[in-house]
Structure 1
Amino acid sequence: MVNWTEMDQQVKAWIMEAGAFIRESFQHSLSIQTKSNPNDLVTNIDEETERFFISNIRKTYPSHFILGEEGQGDELSSLDGIVWIIDPIDGTMNFIHQQRHFAISIGIYEDGVGRLGYIYDVTHDELYYAKRGSGAFMNDVQLPALSEVTLEKSLIAVNATWLVKNAYFDEKRLVSLATTVRGVRSYGSAALELAYVASGRLDSYLTMRLSPWDFAAGKILVEEVGGNVTALSGKELDMMKTTSVFAGAPGLHKRILTDFLLEK
């Protein structure tokens, strides 16, 4: 029998320890490497932070599985069992250039169902977290259920990759959306943007392409405050694949989906 409350306290302690390590790293130079392309960056801090979490998980929960961005976890073909989906630093480019607008992101799933989600804004010391069925919180303050907002008064975030032609849909539809809403933002960290949707700082978030570790925790948070998280097609997210992601309060989610994203 899984003691989710005990696990929740353990994860928070690890996150605080990792956050302190990352903040301390601001005083030192970084070792920066590229991954899939020159702008897909990873630092020694990403790798050391992921190793920290993996080492602790292996010791404390040896039967659990790990899916991590930096490739130090398990080779998985499903989310059977208990799976930790970890991004040690979501927003690495922001971390390197700005030392802000990045986060630790951890989603814990049981047989494909999100149980615990954590997004820690290291620089601002803001921990967003959720336990399935118990709501979502930011630094121990419970987040209210998402309220409805009209499209014209909404503030949305859209990943800048929409500027480039892509295989998902005609980007002209996003131009139309951007000129209808009150404002558009792009923070460069999917985890933080999903946390902002959950907390009401943003009303919706759309992106063309994310990996599971980018959205696993945020999905749990948004759903715990009554929001919807789907692909841009409106279909359920595939937690094992790279996918588009679209999050928002139910009414706004439905209107954007119907009026701007789906083929007429």
Structure 2
Amino acid sequence: MDKNLRDDIFQHAKEWILKAGETIRTKINDPLIIDTKSNPKDLVTTMDKETEYFLATNIKKTYPHHLLFSEEGYGDDVTSLDGVVWIVDPIDGTMNFVQQKRNFAISIGIFQEGIGEIGFVYDVMADILYSAKRNEGAYKNNVKLPPLKPELVLDEAMLGFNHHWLCENSVMDERTMQQLVKKIRGSRTYGSAALKLAYVAEGIIDGYLTMNLAPWDIAGGIILAKEVGAVTTNLDGAPVTLLTNESTITCHPAIQQEIIHDYLQKGKK
């Protein structure tokens, strides 16, 4: 992507994501209409829909030839990452939004010809904006995040993943994941994929495993993580498509192969 175009898109996207977050904070205590989607734990609120509508309207008005791949119905029928594609989650961590009124994020990943050019993860209630432009580093607000430390062993790693990995599930033998938990220094669950990927970029966790998440859950965050040296693949070590739901791992490169070969490959169903 041409640098001038990337800078222009970045500035517009930054303005819109901050404005969307301001609106959410203003309305955080207003009555909510809450619906379920695929199951009783898969929540959607009027705020999810209003936020996506705001972002979609601005994207389409300003960049009519760009495509939008999003969660709540205002996007396009995206079947490839040809051209410029915005992958948007208006509220990642809706359950946290509903029950905690914190620990949720707006996530935007912008790709050209399948290459991640711009990433945003906005921790709305903390007013912390993680951002990245390809080959220009990742930032927490206006402070550049340092590259990941050069060395790491799995015994000293902190990983993020939810507790479904440790229960009987359709993706992984839970006993293998229990062995991984015993191996590492510790595990954390935050309830928002976007925030966990931002934390990988920040270096406060060393990796994050997702179980069958949609592209909009991870698109912005993996761009952030890549800019500090983290790597993202599916559980086989192959590239992530960002067109369908996948289980993925984003982590420090020093521990990637050990996790994949000694745990994910052995436990995968």
Per the normalisation by structure 2, the TM-score is 0.95
Give 1:155 deviation, angstroms. Answer: 1.1
Name the CA distance, whole Å, in 1 between partners of 2:166 and 2:261.
21
Name the CA distance, whole Å, in 2 between partners of 1:25 and 1:231.
37
Partner of 1:259: 262
The 5 Å alignment of 1:51-200 reads 51-147=53-149, 148-200=151-203
Give 1:39 deviation, angstroms. Answer: 1.0
Give 1:149 deviation, angstroms. Answer: 2.1
Give 1:233 deviation, angstroms. Answer: 1.7
1:247 counterpart (245, 250, 254):
250
CA contact (8 A) 2:200 2:251 kept: yes
Given residue 25 of structure 2, which amino acid in structure 1 is its aligned partner? Answer: R
SS in structure 2 at match of 1:179: helix
CA contact (8 A) 2:166 2:175 kept: no
1:144-188: per-residue Cα shift (whole Å, max 9, x none)?
111132211111111222134333332211100001111111111
Matched, 1:211 2:211: no
Partner of 2:49: 47
CA contact (8 A) 1:162 1:207 kept: no
1:92-136: per-residue Cα shift (whole Å, max 9, x none)?
000000011100000000011110000000011111111011111
Partner of 2:28: 26
Given residue 208 of structure 2, which amino acid in structure 1 is its aligned partner? Answer: Y
Name the CA distance, whole Å, in 1 between partners of 2:47 and 2:19.
13
CA contact (8 A) 2:69 2:85 kept: yes
CA contact (8 A) 1:194 1:215 kept: yes
Matched, 1:237 2:253: no
Give 1:213 deviation, angstroms. Answer: 0.1
SS in structure 2 at match of 1:106: strand
CA contact (8 A) 1:161 1:207 kept: no
Higher mean alpha-carbon deviation, 9-18 vs 164-173, is at 164-173
SS in structure 1 at match of 2:183: coil
SS in structure 1 at match of 2:266: coil
Instruction: Give ranges in structure 1 of 5+ residues lacking alignment.
Output: none
Give 1:205 deviation, angstroms. Answer: 0.7
Percentage of identical aligned residues: 48
Higher mean alpha-carbon deviation, 219-228 vs 149-158, is at 149-158
Name the CA distance, whole Å, in 1 between partners of 2:169 and 2:237.
17
Q: CA RMSD in A?
A: 1.3
**How many residues get paired?**
264
CA contact (8 A) 2:233 2:240 kept: yes
Q: Which runs of 4+ in 1 moved over 4 A?
A: none
Name the CA distance, whole Å, in 2 between partners of 1:53 and 1:161.
32
Name the CA distance, whole Å, in 2 between partners of 1:125 and 1:224.
21
Name the CA distance, whole Å, in 1 between partners of 2:256 and 2:34.
38
Instruction: Give ranges in structure 2 of 5+ residues lacking alignment.
Output: none
Name the CA distance, whole Å, in 2 between partners of 1:236 and 1:176.
26
CA contact (8 A) 2:166 2:177 kept: no
Name the CA distance, whole Å, in 2 between partners of 1:27 and 1:210.
28
Given residue 187 of structure 2, which amino acid in structure 1 is its aligned partner? Answer: V
